[in-house]
Structure 1
């Protein structure tokens, strides 16, 4: 006989206005078990869990069905529960870990205050006892020097440390249920692996039931016992993890499985010829920052050298803080190098001034990680794409500009009518295609892609990577592809440079590096990539 469910959701539905967002979704999660809720952006994953836990607060939203927190001494029906009931449940019996700890944590409060708040509210602890418990929690989630970290503010922590602090807050009152909404999406693969192991260990220690939301079946395979696949707010597949991986019932599930980047994937076709387009020698970048004890210098990039071959891709990989994006900033004039040289087909990149610098900027394009932030929300797509055309005087007159925008949209696989849309009217993948079109408008020789697919669903990421490969073949583009996921780097790169703490760790042809990595750090990055087989099969 199976153990009773901690949370049991039956025929859950959500309507906002006249639109059905979630329709008849059912699942249950037992103690010490994890249910994975998976699907693309807009599939209804987060909406389902918010509605099931009483957190949905959208104007005009109507929730139907049942969601019962059955664990503990008193079962609670969460659908339709009064705010007073939900306040007793949230934090005490249900803990929450969201995708972006930077926005979930209060920037004005120390970790001590944020952890002890729920302990004093729900457990009636004294301040001294709550502080002691907070120290124990920070130690349990693996934060170094927890007694000192208690007095830290969120901005003083790395992304992985902030997520660990969020987990400590969520587990403070020993909840029966933990909701993890994309908790590792914004993290490096090594930090992601650590968070997965941490939640698994804490789940075993505390007996917590977990609902883990993700768009990545590779991650779900490492955390979940059972999986519910959502599409357009409906359940299209539901099975134990091994059954779902071995015998997916729906084509959509098969597409999600096929879209996962894997280390044993075939790399890009080799590029004939060894002409060097970009040559960087001894790049050195320092920043002066203010600290509580005065100003100090951060040595962001230390004596880094590499080349990008014409028509080829150099993958630049490493964890957050390794200096990857600083390299891109130096090459595009967004950061001032303190040493080293860079030449683009013989032209000095760092020494160019005036009109020479302007001409050089046309030859190097840049695509950022978050297209929603990099596109002007008040400008139509046509305006954003046409901006480089006007800045560099590449077309004459409005008809020619309109025609060129249409060509660029077609080039990146978007309908020409998208030119009149605003960024908020596009999906994440569509926005990133617009960003690529804008970068291509100036007809660059080198395109720098700074984590350009990291924020996308795996299926959308796969389509954007296919687009980049096609553009490289058709236009002869060279790419500097910056990322933290070695599975993606393997798929796109001809050469790979691994960075750590601002320095180059390993720099070799991609096929050689992935076949036999020489450095321990590279092996650690490779080991952190979610394997093809789910954890339950090991």
Structure 2
């Protein structure tokens, strides 16, 4: 290891069209170490790191200050103000990048082999045969199964976790001295997240490279980082070793982030007198047909799932991607037709209802989706989005409709003057509140929340959860809360249904399930949750 930091950033400032967004940030990344950069959306995390590594490409952007990349083989290179030729020699060869969404980072038109061999051939001068051997070694190193076969695959033929492993392999292809990991686990299931964290840590140890890990989740940062820089509105408000940040936070914002983390160990108390079931699902089977090179194949997405949800309570449905969670929600909202099974709401058959009865049932089951950005029409005002169900079901018109929209905004704690705003004028949390208001427009009995807090920052997520708990108490709502974050599920759920490969492997009261899980898969999910204390705290106690 070298005594010089791999990356030394001093008084970095970034302005876009004359407006300064990053304000004099300084930090160092030691050789072989990991710096965690943490903060909420809009804090300037990615902008700071991309500017420091020469990858910022925004019209009207101006970067000042200093960012020196120094490695034993290459010597120091000033990145700020560097020529395009210098940046080409740095990016990919000396600095590797892993971004949040491998689905958009990988080229959908190129095979994995071409994407893995492109960098070594261009930067390291490898022959086609040598680069192919190198690609196989990389796929094997990052744990992609059947690497020889996968070389000919395209990104869409891999799972999300496998795509992220390939993205890490691409980033490591030129043996970089510094790896930038920008929210690499945010979109992943908790078990896949744990695997990617372990993978990056092992790659870091094996290759002796430095890592900058960007995240809004202090739980993840605690598992990877040695040092932490906390950013807020483009300023570094706290910089300290990871253990000090967790045990002795100095800034109010750091304490806010720590206090907002969902952690295991706070189960929701069970209702004093369990009410009668409002929603009943019995022996649900769903099959999808998928095209393959050899013809078509049938995929059994949901296999004999049954459960009851009592009125005014929350059933948490947890499991990894592909477990069948959202398929169950699709059946309940009549977007997916099951092969067999029944669904009843308050004694009425949901799947067989038609005409006026069918329309009434559609009003009584509403849904809030994961991504509020995609769920709202960017060309519609808040008033139009919230009032859409009222227009579709012809519930209210004119001034009565306007009154109901204002009432719904007040219910989700948004100002009445938001009615004229568009989605791009709202924060992520405000958009999700608008989505909740729209879902409540027709006074539903059941609200299905499909990963509805997964894309939010931790402090915003905490406020949305508080809102949902209050709405349930005030309105007597029944929730199906679909998620892969068990700490969030524990906080909001009375009962929990664990799904794995289409089956319900465990269904028990939340307090009992988290205290004493019975199924191996449930235990695996719980073990993958980032612990309350950072990795560096192993064998130590708070000072």
**TM-score normalised by L of structure 1:** 0.99
The question of 1:33 aligning with 2:33 is answered yes
Q: Secondary structure at the match of 1:303?
A: strand
Shift of 1:269: 5.4
Shift of 1:85: 1.1
Distance 2:271 2:7 in 1: 52
Shift of 1:59: 1.1
Q: Where in structure 2 are the equivalents of 1:48-59 lying within 5 Å?
A: 48-59=48-59
- Could you tell me which residue of structure 1 aligns to residue 206 of structure 2? 205
Q: Secondary structure at the match of 1:5?
A: coil
Shift of 1:268: 4.8
The answer (yes or no) to whether the contact 2:269–2:511 under 8 Å persists in 1 is: no
Q: Deviations over 1:219-259 (max 9, x none)?
A: 00000000000000001111000011111010110010011
Q: Secondary structure at the match of 2:6?
A: strand
- Could you tell me which residue of structure 1 aligns to residue 427 of structure 2? 427
Structure 1 stretch displaced more, 71-80 or 42-51: 71-80
Distance 1:306 1:236 in 2: 48
Distance 1:87 1:398 in 2: 60
The answer (yes or no) to whether the contact 2:2–2:31 under 8 Å persists in 1 is: no
Q: Deviations over 1:139-159 (max 9, x none)?
A: 000011111111110000000
Structure 1 stretch displaced more, 123-132 or 346-355: 346-355
Distance 1:188 1:403 in 2: 41
Distance 2:171 2:137 in 1: 14
Q: Where in structure 2 are the equivalents of 1:47-446 lying within 5 Å?
A: 47-71=47-71, 72-268=73-269, 270=271, 272-395=273-396, 397-446=397-446
Q: Which runs of 5+ in 2 are unaligned?
A: 539-543
- Could you tell me which residue of structure 1 aligns to residue 473 of structure 2? 473
Distance 1:438 1:518 in 2: 38
The answer (yes or no) to whether the contact 2:179–2:211 under 8 Å persists in 1 is: yes
Shift of 1:374: 1.1
Q: Deviations over 1:172-227 (max 9, x none)?
A: 11100000000000000000000000000000000110000000000000000000
Q: Deviations over 1:105-158 (max 9, x none)?
A: 000001100000001000111111100000000000001111111111000000
Distance 1:189 1:3 in 2: 36
Shift of 1:394: 1.7
Distance 1:354 1:338 in 2: 22
Distance 2:494 2:267 in 1: 11
Runs of 4+ off more than 2 Å: 268-274
Q: Secondary structure at the match of 2:89?
A: helix
Structure 1 stretch displaced more, 176-185 or 78-87: 78-87
Distance 2:408 2:294 in 1: 50
Distance 2:338 2:212 in 1: 46
The question of 1:489 aligning with 2:464 is answered no
Q: Secondary structure at the match of 2:391?
A: helix
The answer (yes or no) to whether the contact 2:22–2:235 under 8 Å persists in 1 is: yes
Distance 1:6 1:281 in 2: 58
**TM-score normalised by L of structure 2:** 0.98
Structure 1 stretch displaced more, 11-20 or 494-503: 11-20
The answer (yes or no) to whether the contact 1:268–1:491 under 8 Å persists in 2 is: no
Q: Deviations over 1:375-419 (max 9, x none)?
A: 111111110100001111221x32111111111111111111111
Structure 1 stretch displaced more, 201-210 or 54-63: 54-63
